[in-house]
Structure 1
Amino acid sequence: MTEHRSVPEHSDYLGEALHLLKLSGTFYCQSELRAPWGVDMPPFDDCLMMHIVTAGHCWLLVEGEPPIHVQQGSLVMLPHGKGHVIASSPEQATTPLFDIPVNHISDRYDLMSFGGSGEVCRATCCVARFDHVAGQQLIRHLPAVMVVNTWEEAEGSWLQSTLRYMAHEAQKLNPGGETVMSHLADILIIQAIRTWLEKGTQADIGWLAALRDPHIGRTLAAMHRNPEADWTIERLADVASMSRSGYSARFTDLMGEPAMRYLTRWRMQMARLHLKNSSDSMIAIAEKLGYQSEAAFSRAFKRVFGVAPGSVRKEGGVRANGVGVLTGESRVFDRA
């Protein structure tokens, strides 16, 4: 196992975690919806969904949540990919998404025109995955629904300008426009998360609070940067400039689990991504994560996930350079 590299005393540990957020398989659909209309959106497991309203307004209905009025220039995100309804009114009858015809422009982009002859709502729907453990960890701490309503506020200028640029690219469909829109969608998702972190009270608990803590955040950053290092409680406490007992108690209090258990779980989550996204040998993955033998790595993996690492590779998974698509009869999000 290798020695850890030093972590600067005054780092932005939460910002560092956000830097690790990598979206993959972004798919988007540009829609023109005329009242009366209602679309029943199915759940997308392990995905994040986002609606951006560029003209008009709509209603979002999610089970267990009050109806949300989404106005022009607003962004609504469902971090857990939960099924929901978007409609011209809360009482509107709905049509399942995959029963609505679309103009399939590319593997990443569809155009949809749907509804009656009334008031128009133009919206862009995005579906994406986070392909780094940091993103998956963050998603677990986000609420079921996140709304950014800043069109009339000074800080909303980032949203206005990005939405206008997205709308321009969607209308023109110039060469490279799909790539531009995909990157803009990534920016919107990250910025929405940043806005929630700045304003959301739930950001003061768990992993997010720990990243903000000057002592625990420092050790989390060290583990994230160097998961292969020969970490012990003593070494982590030294990085945190705390006593061993004080560090252990504070870490468990903030994170809800001991530091070494968190480290093992982080390593195994990274291992699972490596197994799905790469062709690296089992021993190569084990060594990348600080295990000197394949047997020790396999035992740790099975303790965390209940299955051997080889079974994850046999099942297959997403490819690192895959593309998100909604195609065919089922039109499910699939990057295989």
Structure 2
Amino acid sequence: MTISDPSMWRGTDALGDALHALRMQGAFYIRSELTDPWGLDIPAMSDCIWFHMPVAGDCWLELDGHDPTLLRTGDCVLVPHGRGHSLVGAPGQPSVSMYEPEAEWVSDRYIVIEHGGGGPATTLVCGAVKFEHPSARGLLDVLPEVMQVQSSAGRSRLGATLDLLTMEAADRRPGGEAVITRLADILVIQMIRAWMEDDPAAQTGWLGALRDKQIGRAILAIHREPERDWTVESLARHVAMSRSAFAARFTEMVGEPAVSYLTRYRMQVATTELAETGVVVSELAGRLGYRSEAAFSRAYKRTTGVSPGSMRKR
């Protein structure tokens, strides 16, 4: 399969493609059985989304720069940008690293921990999930720092997933780890989709551009065929606009010129390929439309600040 293989795309528009790209590449799940007083420090994890859901009892999320967020039973919160934060039974309670309590490894990506002082109990389902595809990273970049869905909110599909996850986590049953992790994957995507549908901030900028009939088609063309020798002229023709009108509208909606967006997207694709495959740099350069390895390496370092070789070592 090549980078531009159409079989990897199922959406019929740019927004659909962005949602289709929300496929988990790595995940780690935790069931925490906690008793007051308790507090857990969640470490920063670059490029990860943390989610937390109390399935029994209440707790608070503490994140620097934000007021404490109360999570009641059945609420769910996302921390999309990998920032470190804390979960506590009450604001200001002492906390320990989530790595400190001894863990029971149910599988290689699901653990159960017990922690606390013996008081009233809280059960949490948490996880760190990762979306590697470049289109997904573009979407994640525009999410707010904290996203909360309350159990009292009217949302039939999301509510059904929350209810199923709550019931499954209420006790330990055979196969519970498999059910919980799959429901959690669905839950994260549903929360992002609900935010995109309801929050005014999701109607502007890059997401607003995806919804635009012509600029969205141009972004979709770049995503599907980043190796093509796209220019402002060819993109404008592709969406039936004049060069000047397309250039101005793309920059206004996306926040950068079309050619800059193309280069940045190519480098996001390259970073994913370098991290996940054994592709050699010269081959990757050709697959992304560069005529030489040197030209690709210069563009990569100019965009990311490091060489392709250094990124691979990271």
State the TM-score, normalizing by the size of structure 1. 0.85
Name the Cα RMSD after superposition: 2.2
Q: Distance in 2 between matches of 1:260 and 1:11?
A: 23
Q: Distance in 1 between matches of 2:294 and 2:97?
A: 48
Counterpart residue identity of residue 25, structure 2: S
Corresponding residue number in structure 2 for 1:108: 109
Structure 1 unmatched runs, 5+: 317-336
- 5 Å-filtered alignment, 1:228-243, equals 228-243=227-242
| Alignment pair present for 1:39 and 2:40 | yes
Deviation at 1:19, TM superposition (A): 0.2
Tell me: CA distance 1:44–1:234, structure 2 relative to 1, closer, same or farther (3 Å): same
Question: Is the 1:166–1:184 Cα contact (8 Å) retained in structure 2?
Answer: no
Question: Is the 1:72–1:151 Cα contact (8 Å) retained in structure 2?
Answer: no
Corresponding residue number in structure 1 for 2:118: 117
- 5 Å-filtered alignment, 1:1-336, equals 11-151=12-152, 153-155=154-156, 156-164=158-166, 166-167=168-169, 171-174=172-175, 177-313=176-312, 315-316=313-314
Q: Distance in 2 between matches of 1:118 and 1:165?
A: 23
Question: Is the 2:73–2:151 Cα contact (8 Å) retained in structure 1?
Answer: no
- Residues 100-152 of structure 1 deviation map (CA, whole Å, 9 limit, x = unaligned): 22222222011111112322211111012111111221121111111011445
Q: Distance in 2 between matches of 1:154 and 1:227?
A: 37
Tell me: CA distance 1:230–1:154, structure 2 relative to 1, closer, same or farther (3 Å): closer
Counterpart residue identity of residue 100, structure 1: P
Counterpart residue identity of residue 161, structure 2: L
- Residues 135-170 of structure 1 deviation map (CA, whole Å, 9 limit, x = unaligned): 2211211111110114453524333344136426x7
Question: Is the 1:23–1:186 Cα contact (8 Å) retained in structure 2?
Answer: yes
Deviation at 1:284, TM superposition (A): 1.9
Percent identity over the alignment is: 43
Counterpart residue identity of residue 63, structure 2: V
Tell me: CA distance 1:71–1:297, structure 2 relative to 1, closer, same or farther (3 Å): same
Q: Distance in 2 between matches of 1:74 and 1:221?
A: 35
Question: Is the 1:104–1:111 Cα contact (8 Å) retained in structure 2?
Answer: yes
The count of aligned residue pairs is 307
Deviation at 1:195, TM superposition (A): 1.1
Deviation at 1:271, TM superposition (A): 0.8
Question: Is the 2:59–2:71 Cα contact (8 Å) retained in structure 1?
Answer: yes
Secondary structure of 1:231 counterpart: coil
Tell me: CA distance 1:260–1:62, structure 2 relative to 1, closer, same or farther (3 Å): same
Secondary structure of 2:118 counterpart: coil
Structure 1 segments, 4+ long, off by >4 Å, are none
Question: Is the 2:13–2:217 Cα contact (8 Å) retained in structure 1?
Answer: no
Corresponding residue number in structure 2 for 1:329: none
Q: Distance in 2 between matches of 1:68 and 1:90?
A: 9
Q: Distance in 2 between matches of 1:27 and 1:154?
A: 26
Structure 2 unmatched runs, 5+: none
